[in-house]
Structure 1
Amino acid sequence: MPARRVFVDPQGPVLVEGPVEIVLDDGTVARSDRFVVALCTCRRSRTYPWCDTSHRRRERTAPPPEERKPR
């Protein structure tokens, strides 16, 4: 069996060339037939063990000053 290629992104998920089967803590198996799978490493994902980009910071930026002036 050929080795799987794994890509580690320090700011995000682990990318694995698929298809893959993931054995979870409780023994259940999650399977994906996609050609590349993003695995969650932060456990914030609602679709764990698959990454849904919940690891990204969600910051609101203030509107430009001209948009904050009262009219």
Structure 2
Amino acid sequence: MPGPDPARRVRVVPDGPVLVDGPVELVAPDGTTVRCDRFVVAVCACRRSRRFPLCDTSHRRRTRRDAG
């Protein structure tokens, strides 16, 4: 019987993505599954990525409008 999976390291980057040690399988809000076999996977935290749920650094080019 195999042992438990080792814990994944997750790093939250200020004003950036969430970095997860891969490989990972992500479930998007619409229920679709995205598998990424990279060593480190950048998960979008701002929802501005064209490749959501993966980060494509779109947050660098787009700015949020201030509420005021």
| TM-score of the pair, normalised by structure 1 | 0.75
Structure 2 residue 53 is the aligned partner of structure 1 residue 46: no
**Deviation sequence 1:4-45 (CA, Å, 0-9, x none):** 000101110000000000011121101100000000011111
Determine whether 1:5 maps to 2:9. yes
Q: CA separation in 2, counterparts of 1:53 and 1:25? A: 20
How many Å separate the matches in 2 of 1:55 and 1:27? Answer: 23
Q: What secondary structure does 1:55 align onto? A: helix
The equivalent of 2:65 in structure 1 is none
Shift of 1:55: 1.2
> Would you say how many aligned residue pairs link Structure 1 and Structure 2?
58
Deviation at 1:47, TM superposition (A): 0.7
Q: Give secondary structure in 1 for the equivalent of 2:60.
A: coil
- Shift >3 Å, 4+ stretches: none
Aligned to 1:34: 38
